[in-house]
Structure 1
Amino acid sequence: MVITKPKTKSTDATDTFISGAPDSGNQAKGVRKGNKRQISLTITPALLDRVDELAAELGQSRAAIINMAIYRAVEHGLIKE
């Protein structure tokens, strides 16, 4: 009779499990919502009112307007006036 070592479990699954722990330090900030991450944003009431007005004019949500503004700033840069 031959004695064999038991097969070792995949370390990939173990590493994935451990890196998914809240205290692993590898977590991205924000709550995952599908393909996006939810974040917290602090904005002045006056600016928020302007964002809401623009959203209403364009028939978009507040989040869509904020996403579009961030996308444009990242892709095209910020322009000084």
Structure 2
Amino acid sequence: MAITKPKAKMSQDADAFISGAPDAEAKPRGVRKGNKRQISLTITPALLQRVDELAAELGQSRAAIINMAIYRAVEHGLIKE
């Protein structure tokens, strides 16, 4: 039985060449809807009910309330109570 060398892996030059291709970019996750991206969100039923109640009280959509909350958290940080 003859001893053989394992096949060489693709060289770094080849990796760099392939990753430089225009279609090699990773696509962003989510479905594009105008200037926004649609995502999936899992939320507890109790919290969802509170979001819906706040949305109805303010005359906004559920999505608008969630967007506003995320925007405020990102811009101003989260406050511990």
What is the TM-score of this pair, normalised by structure 1? Answer: 0.71
Letter in 2 for 1:41: L
Unaligned stretches of 5+ residues in structure 1: 1-13
1:41 alignment partner in structure 2: 41
Q: Which residue of 2 aligns with 1:7?
A: none
Distance in 1, matches of 2:79 and 2:27, equals 33
**Residue aligning to 2:32:** 32
| SS of residue in 1 equivalent to 2:40 | coil
**What's the counterpart of residue 56 of structure 1?**
56
Partner Cα separation in structure 2 for residue 29 and residue 57 of structure 1: 32
Q: Which amino acid aligns with 1:34?
A: G
Aligned to 2:74: 74
Gaps of 5+ in 2: 1-20
* Equivalent pairs, count: 61
SS of the residue corresponding to residue 37 of structure 2 reads: strand
Alpha-carbon distance in 1 for matches of 2:52, 2:64: 11
- Normalised by the length of structure 2, the TM-score is 0.71
Sequence identity percentage: 84
- Segments ≥4 residues shifted beyond 2 Å: none
